[in-house]
Copies of this chain bind each other. A is one copy, B any other.
Amino acid sequence: MKDRLQLVTFTKGELVLDANQVSTKSYFIRKGILRTYFLKDGKEISEYFCSKDEWINSPKSFMQRKTDIYYIDAIETTEAFSLHVNDLVYLFDHFPEMERYSRLSMGTIFGHLMERIASMRFASAKEKYIHFCESYHEIYHRIPLGMIASYIGITQETLSRIRAEK
């Protein structure tokens, strides 16, 4: 197992995955922050952020072995263990109980996504920001304002004003 995980380091700003590549590796972060984003009208829209003890990849691309619209980059210099999709398949083949574990954790991730959809629809800009800070309370202060704004779907200016007021 050990040799299937490779320790890699990405420097701040480095591109981890380009949107025209298939996401063949999952990264388990030891230190730092990685972020998934996509481009809309030439601007970067942040999709989510991952930090210590979390796995990151481009889900659809990784699971279906085809390209998707998502990029991954490093917001801070980051150390992570990388696991190749083939090795993951090997693990699933040899440890069938992993499938069950993976299926269960999907329930959790689903819950998060659905909650996020709910919060996107009915919250004011300020509530969205508060919700963001709560769901990323460990790292929200390490993420640049502009990236947070695009994550929650408001402009930088509005977010700057929200922060100023309290």
Contact with B along A94-133 (1 / 0, CB 8 A): 0010011011101110110110111011100000000000
- Stretch from A6-14, A27-35, A58-66 at the B interface: A58-66
Can you give 25 contacting A-B residue pairs, CB < 8 Å? Answer: A38-B118, A40-B122, A45-B122, A47-B117, A47-B118, A59-B110, A59-B111, A59-B114, A60-B107, A60-B111, A60-B114, A63-B110, A64-B104, A64-B108, A92-B99, A92-B103, A96-B96, A99-B99, A99-B103, A106-B106, A110-B113, A117-B117, A120-B120, A121-B153, A122-B153
Q: Does A68 interact with chain B (Cβ within 8 Å)? A: yes
Q: How many A residues face the partner with a CB closer than 8 A?
A: 32
CB distance from A90 to the nearest CB of B (A): 13
A106 to B108, CA, bound (A): 13
Whole-angstrom CA separation of A96 from B94 in the bound complex: 12
* Distance (whole angstroms) from the CB of A132 to the closest CB of chain B: 12
Q: Which residue of B lies closest to A123 (CB)?
A: B153
- Kindly report how many copies of this chain are found in the complex they form together: 2
Q: Is the interface of A mostly helix, strand, loop or mixed?
A: helix
Which residue of chain B is the closest to A38 with respect to CB atoms?
A: B118
Asked if A64 and B107 make an inter-chain contact with CB atoms under 8 angstroms apart, the answer reads yes
CB-defined interface of A14-49 with B at 8 Å, one 1/0 digit per residue? 000000000000000000000000101000010100
In the bound complex, what is the Cα–Cα distance between A116 and B110 (angstroms)?
Answer: 13
